[in-house]
Amino acid sequence: MGSRLVIRIAAGAAVAAGAAVAAGAYPLFFRRGCLYWGATPEEVAAKLPGDELLPEPDITSTRAVTIDAAPDAVWPWLAQMGSGRGGAYSYDWIENLLGLNMHSAGAILPQFQDIKVGDELPLGPNRPMMRVEVCDPGRALAVKVADGNWVWIFALAARDGQTRLISRNRIATPGAPMPVRMLGMLVMEPGSLIMERKMLLGIKRRAERLARETPR
């Protein structure tokens, strides 16, 4: 057996072993922190407006951040989210590698503030639309993708002059084979944390700046 073949077999075995370790370690030690970053146990367990839109999801994440501003400084950034609108306040360069045409706004865009139930928000060019299903300004916003398998909920709770911004994703994967489910768990879940953490902190930074600049 040639040395190159031996090296390739050893490398393949090492990759397989690493994948097996990751598959075993992630659910036991890392998954909860990934799915529930920033959220309290009470927030994870809480029923949010829009949960009923997908009552039996296969995957649920609940992530949260404290914003040093009232909900009325947070809501405008949620209202204008979307491709070709205010963006997603995450890593635009990653979003745009996927062709999503996301350009995160640094200012309130008045033309996108009059959001209401029934509006359709674009995920990107030639991508499914997300329909607004719950719109309670300053309190809750929930959107559902066209095929019904993804619901994204934002809830705002005022606390002592601050706001807890909670983001919940409810996702169904009907008929997905086990390898696809494993890929979703080991790759998509950590990836979603990276993007959503950036988004929540981006909204926090923008809302706190808006609160400082708004005369009281």
Could you tell me the end-to-end alpha-carbon distance of the chain, in angstroms, rounded to an integer?
78
Statement: residue 206 has pLDDT above 70: yes
Statement: residue 19 has pLDDT above 70: no
Helix (H, G, I), strand (E, B) or coil at 17: helix
Residue 141 is predicted with a pLDDT of: 98
Helix (H, G, I), strand (E, B) or coil at 103: coil
When pLDDT is averaged across residues 51-77 and rounded to a whole number, the result is 96
Statement: residue 151 has pLDDT above 60: yes
Q: What is the pTM of this model?
A: 0.84
Amino acid at residue number 214: T
CA separation for the pair 134, 139 (Å, rounded)? 10
Residue 72 carries which DSSP code?
Answer: H
Phi, psi of 36 (to 5 degrees): -125, 30
When pLDDT is averaged across residues 39-58 and rounded to a whole number, the result is 96
Which pair of tokens denotes residue 212? Answer: 């400082």
Helix 71-79 vs helix 189-213: angle between axes, to the nearest 10 degrees?
A: 130
Which residues, at least 6 apart from 54, have a Cβ–Cβ distance to it below 8 Å? 144, 148, 149, 150, 151, 170, 171, 172
